[in-house]
Structure 1
Amino acid sequence: MNRICILSVEDEPEVRQAITRDLEGFSKLFRIEVAEDVEDAKEVIESIDGDGDQVGVILCDHRLPGTTGVEFLIELESEENHSGIRKVLVTGQADQQDTIRAINTGGLDHYVAKPWQAEVLQGIVKDQLTEFILAKDLDPIPFLSMLDDPRLLERVARGSRID
């Protein structure tokens, strides 16, 4: 089975490390990648795609050097092969207009304000990964121990497609 990836796009090393630390428990089943900016994120996504894996969730800061996180999420949403990625804006600096644009044009699925609590971030990632698996109609059984098992079990009971 190809792996599903969680990608964090964050320019501040301490914040990148905190996100990686908070998501470490997901690494048993999911590939975790980081990027410093949008250009780096595009290279990481290309590498993930090249490995036959797929990005399931992107956690993206808004204030990044060069292209903003919101602009990146909008760009991803317009790419057919990446439009199903679950998008989470993790920022303390996006204004209301940026957030509205991210929701309306970038397919934003969730917003997390900095600083966050580890349990809250983990819960959001768990929920977004569950949504990704259900939307992609992936076999939910391998993920029951880590994700939203009632929703995944409901899919199993209804007879999900098994890859």
Structure 2
Amino acid sequence: MSQYMILCVDDERDVLDSVMDDLQGFSDHFELEAAESVTEARDVIEQMAAQGTQLALILCDHIMPGELGVDFLIELAKQPQTAGARKLLLTGQAGLEDTVSAINHASLHYYIAKPWQKATLTSVVTDQLTSFMIEHEPNLLPWTSVLDTPRLVDAINKHKFEVGGE
């Protein structure tokens, strides 16, 4: 099992299945998890944390029964164990005010509108995961095969320079 997780949250099962299918290319390196509600997402995060798996990225719908996705992302940004995770809003219904609120609370790294294109989604996820790894993973070399290789190599070289390496 991977030590990092990608979590997708959407109350529409068809949308959730489609997102999970589009992200299958990451499944060799990341634990892919799905939740149909914010409550279920909290449970998944708690269970995975108990197994030593860290939330690296969450894609969350906005309009869901019981709780708005933006509010959940703001909540995650305030919790130490999930604050560093990359947070993406995947929705067709978030208003400007909600999106601005999430950005202003440092809770949203990217907004993807529904319907999305698979290539766009995988490109954004790759970019966001690369940023996460540069910020949180001391050994970037293994990630060069799945994420943004030039950015990771630059980060490796910068780190070498900063610690007095070559």
Deviation, 1:106, is: 4.6
Provide TM-score, normalisation by structure 1.
Answer: 0.94
Partner of 1:129: 129
Deviation, 1:139, is: 1.1
Provide TM-score, normalisation by structure 2.
Answer: 0.93
Contact 2:2 2:30 in 1 (8 A): no
Contact 1:6 1:58 in 2 (8 A): yes
Distance in 1 separating the partners of 2:20 and 2:2: 21
Partner of 2:156: 156
1:78-123 per-position Cα deviation (integer Å, ceiling 9, x unaligned): 1122110100000000000000011111520000000000000000
Q: Which has the larger radius of gyration?
A: 2
Distance in 1 separating the partners of 2:144 and 2:96: 36
Contact 2:63 2:94 in 1 (8 A): yes
Distance in 1 separating the partners of 2:42 and 2:3: 18
Contact 2:2 2:29 in 1 (8 A): no
Partner of 2:14: 14
Contact 1:2 1:54 in 2 (8 A): no
Distance in 2 separating the partners of 1:120 and 1:39: 28
What secondary structure, in the 3-state scheme, does the structure 2 residue paired with 1:28 have? coil
Partner of 1:110: 110
1:7-86 equivalent positions in 2, closer than 5 A:
7-86=7-86
Deviation, 1:2, is: 5.0
Letter in 2 for 1:138: P
Structure 1 runs of 4+ off > 6 angstroms? none
Distance in 2 separating the partners of 1:56 and 1:11: 21
Deviation, 1:19, is: 0.2
Distance in 1 separating the partners of 2:72 and 2:158: 36
Distance in 1 separating the partners of 2:32 and 2:138: 19
Contact 1:2 1:52 in 2 (8 A): no
Distance in 2 separating the partners of 1:124 and 1:138: 22
Give structure 2 stretches of 5+ with no counterpart.
none
Note the aligned Cα RMSD (angstroms): 1.5
Distance in 2 separating the partners of 1:71 and 1:107: 9
1:137-156 equivalent positions in 2, closer than 5 A:
137-156=137-156
Letter in 2 for 1:38: V
Distance in 2 separating the partners of 1:109 and 1:97: 16
Give structure 1 stretches of 5+ with no counterpart.
none
